[in-house]
Amino acid sequence: MNNLNTILTGDRPTGQLHLGHYVGSLKTRVAMQEDVENKLFIMVADVQALTDNAKNPEKVAKNVLQVALDYLAVGLDPKKSTLFVQSQIPELAELTMYYANLVSVNRLKRNPTVKAEIEQKQFGEGVPTGFFIYPISQAADITAFKANLVPVGEDQKPMLEQTQEIVHSFNTTYREVLVNPKAVLPPKGMGRLPGIDGNGKMSKSLGNGIYLADSADTLKKKVMSMYTDPNHIHVEDPGNVEGNMVFTYLDVFGEDKAYIEELKNHYRQGGLGDVKIKRYLIDVLEATFGPIRARREELAKDPEYVMSVLQQGSEKAREVSAQTLSEVKQAMGIQYFA
Ligand code: TRP
């Protein structure tokens, strides 16, 4: 055995990706792809997105391109990473069916992330079966590629635990075929970028996000509307740095830590206005996201190229998962025809 890592991760195409995705996972993926010891598979999880969008497939389909644009714009390189679309790999659905027999309904009911989503999406008694079992399908995604590392946010830990249980169950029931994966969590403090309103995590449903695709003007307006310290009314007033989104974002995105400390001290003492710190934050964000936006705009002019990247990636992903599926069927003794 060599010490190559195989990495699989993905995103549901239910909207464009935002700065929370960038610090929480996109940046880590780009860094991982530069290490030749790593093999990287990045999946647009449209099948999973459909589990709660069955009546709205156009929304999912249209966002496949959007997510792919975000991937390429941040620097994921099709020469180094395999970018693919989940629905184009039927082997994943097959694996899901075999794994489903190894997981009890009660076990699925205990998944805290699924529980929270059922609550939040207000399914009531109408939870779609496909949604309920998506942790099993996620185990298929991960194991089909024999991934040992899965970079994800905290909320995905229960999916990794479920996958580990399936791997153990499969390997002990049949034969040692599947690889036990490990979650790679975001760097400290990067896992939960709050929204510009300071109300919880940046998310599409809360409408508090800054998107990679946002124009310079939109980004500027969003920063200017950011939640700061509601008691900091006059420039001379002493202000709060904690819970102030401008400083929260400067801590995450700013490079010049010493200057940011100076700004914080000045703000605490009074005499530093919100507009000044917001202007500085705009400069800081533009330094990273300006070039990403420019690349995204260029790529958006050629959607055929972007879709061809996904198509080629999907072909490669299919080969890899077909191999695993064949091993799975052999281990189960259901590979009837040579
Ligand atoms: N559940 C992930 C999300 O909501 C998306 C996803 C699907 C995924 N399959 C995966 C992530 C496999 C990591 C590995 O963002």
Q: What is the rounded distance in angstroms from the CA atom of residue 224 to the CA atom of residue 226?
A: 6
Domain of 289?
A: 216-298
Same domain, 108 and 20: yes
Give kind and range of the element (H or E) at residue 8.
Answer: strand 5-11
Residue nearest to atom 5 of ligand 1 (CA): 11
Q: What's the one-letter identity of residue 151?
A: P
Interval 226-231 mean pLDDT: 96
Same domain, 293 and 311: no
pLDDT band, residue 191 (cuts 50/70/90): confident
Q: What is the rounded distance in angstroms from the CA atom of residue 89 to the CA atom of residue 86?
A: 6
- Of ligand 1's listed atoms, the one at least distance from the Cα of 45 is 7
Q: Please answer whether residues 19 and 250 qualify as being in contact, where contact means their C-beta atoms are separated by less than 8 angstroms.
A: no
Q: What are the distances in angstroms from CA 95 to CA 102, 120, 152?
A: 11, 29, 22
pLDDT band, residue 37 (cuts 50/70/90): confident
Task: Give a yes or no: residue 205 inside a domain.
Answer: no
Same domain, 76 and 39: yes
Q: Please answer whether residues 222 and 231 qualify as being in contact, where contact means their C-beta atoms are separated by less than 8 angstroms.
A: no
Instruction: Give per-residue pLDDT as tens, 140-181.
Output: 999 999 999 999 988 999 999 999 999 999 999 999 999 999
Q: Looking at residue 1, what is its pLDDT? A: 47
**Short-list 149, 126, 205, CA closest to 32:** 149
Cβ-count burial of 300 within 10 angstroms (0-12 exposed, 13-18 middle, 19+ buried)?
middle
Same domain, 170 and 69: yes
| CB of residue 46 inside a 6 A radius of ligand 1 | no
Q: What is the CA radius of gyration of the chain?
A: 22
Q: Look at the chain and report how many structural domains it folds into.
A: 2
Interval 107-130 mean pLDDT: 94
Structure tokens at 223: 């920063």
pLDDT band, residue 321 (cuts 50/70/90): very high
Q: What is the rounded distance in angstroms from the CA atom of residue 329 to the CA atom of residue 264?
A: 60
Task: Give a yes or no: residue 337 inside a domain.
Answer: no
Q: Looking at residue 2, what is its pLDDT? A: 56
pLDDT band, residue 85 (cuts 50/70/90): very high
User: Among 113-127, 258-272, 302-316, 321-335, which stretch is predicted with the lowest mean pLDDT?
Assistant: 113-127
Task: Give a yes or no: residue 202 inside a domain.
Answer: no
Same domain, 24 and 136: yes
Q: What is the rounded distance in angstroms from the CA atom of residue 269 to the CA atom of residue 266?
A: 5
Residue nearest to atom 6 of ligand 1 (CA): 10
Ligand 1 center–CA 298 separation, angstroms: 28
